[in-house]
Structure 1
Amino acid sequence: MELGNFSVSLAVKDIAASRAFYEALGFEVFHDQTDHGWMILRNETSTIGLFQGMFENNILTFNPGWDRAGQALDDFTDVRDIQKALKAKGIALISETDEDGSGPASVVIQDPDGNTILIDQHV
């Protein structure tokens, strides 16, 4: 199962303080939407998102259809096919998408320890 680009989405209390902290670790801002409460930072092959006031807990995020640079891929596993495979394996879905649609959509699951996993397709 191809899940696409991976990042960790962090629920932060102070986006400016978090940005300064991760920049001190060598991360650089890739996409800044601070005015909307979020930004994406990278350090080599690591990607993190900082989100202030958008959700309560940290989220593991996969983006089908994107490469590491956030560029659309021509060939990828659609989130609807991933959803069908998850259901076939007996994995409970917290939220799901219309299996007959196309384009952007998302699915949310939790691992056995309650960690939220977002499979979020933007293409």
Structure 2
Amino acid sequence: MKLDCFSISLAVKDLQVSRDFYEKLGFSVFAGEISQRFLIMKNGTTNIGLFQGMFEGNILTFNPGWDHNAQALDDFTDARDLLAKVKAQGIEVSHQNVEGEQGPASFSFVDPDGNAILIDQHR
């Protein structure tokens, strides 16, 4: 399966403290705002999302249709097709928000160790 852009979405206690920490490791803010309680930070092709008070636990996130700079890809596997493939593999889907035949869609599931995985298509 081609899942495209990958990032780890971290549930943080203090967004500013986390931002400062990751900046020390060479990350810089790429998107988001502290006032909205989230930041997306980059270091090369590595993306980390910092989210304060938005969800419990950390999430492995894949964005079909985006490259690591959130630029649209011409060729990508739609989230609807990925959902069908995940279900065909016998993986239980815990959440899905999929409407229509194209456009934004998301679904999530959990790996055998309890790690949440989010497929989040924005286009």
TM category, shorter: over 0.9
Distance in 1 of aligned mates of 2:72 and 2:33: 20
Q: Which runs of 5+ in 2 are unaligned?
A: none
| 1:120 alignment partner in structure 2 | 120
Would the aligned equivalents of 2:98 and 2:106 in 1 still touch at CA under 8 Å? no
Aligned counterparts of 1:110 and 1:39: Cα–Cα separation in 2: 24
CA RMSD across the alignment: 1.1
Paired residue type of 1:114: G
4+ runs of 1 displaced by more than 4 Å? none
Name the structure 2 match of 1:103: 103
Structure 1 alignment gaps of length 5 or more:
none
2:36 corresponds to: 36
CA–CA distance in structure 2, aligned partners of residues 55 and 91 of structure 1: 22
Deviation at 1:32, TM superposition (A): 3.0
Moved more, 99-108 or 83-92: 99-108
Q: Which residue of 1 aligns with 2:53?
A: 53
Q: Whose strand fraction is larger, Structure 1's or Structure 2's?
A: 2
Shift of the 98–27 alpha-carbon distance from structure 1 to 2, 3 Å rule, reads closer
- The residue aligned with 1:80 is 80
Separation in 2 of the partners of 1:76 and 1:26?
30
Secondary structure at 1:61 match in 2: strand
SS of residue matched to 1:107: strand
Structure 2 residue aligned with 1:22: 22
Q: So what's the TM-score if we normalise by structure 1? A: 0.96
User: Kindly, what percent of the aligned residue pairs are identical?
Assistant: 59
Q: TM-score, normalising length from structure 2?
A: 0.96
Count of aligned pairs: 123
The alpha-carbon distance between structure 1 residues 98 and 41, as it changes in their structure 2 partners (threshold 3 A), is closer
* Corresponding residue number in structure 1 for 2:69: 69
Amino acid at match of 1:70: A
Would the aligned equivalents of 1:80 and 1:97 in 2 still touch at CA under 8 Å?
no
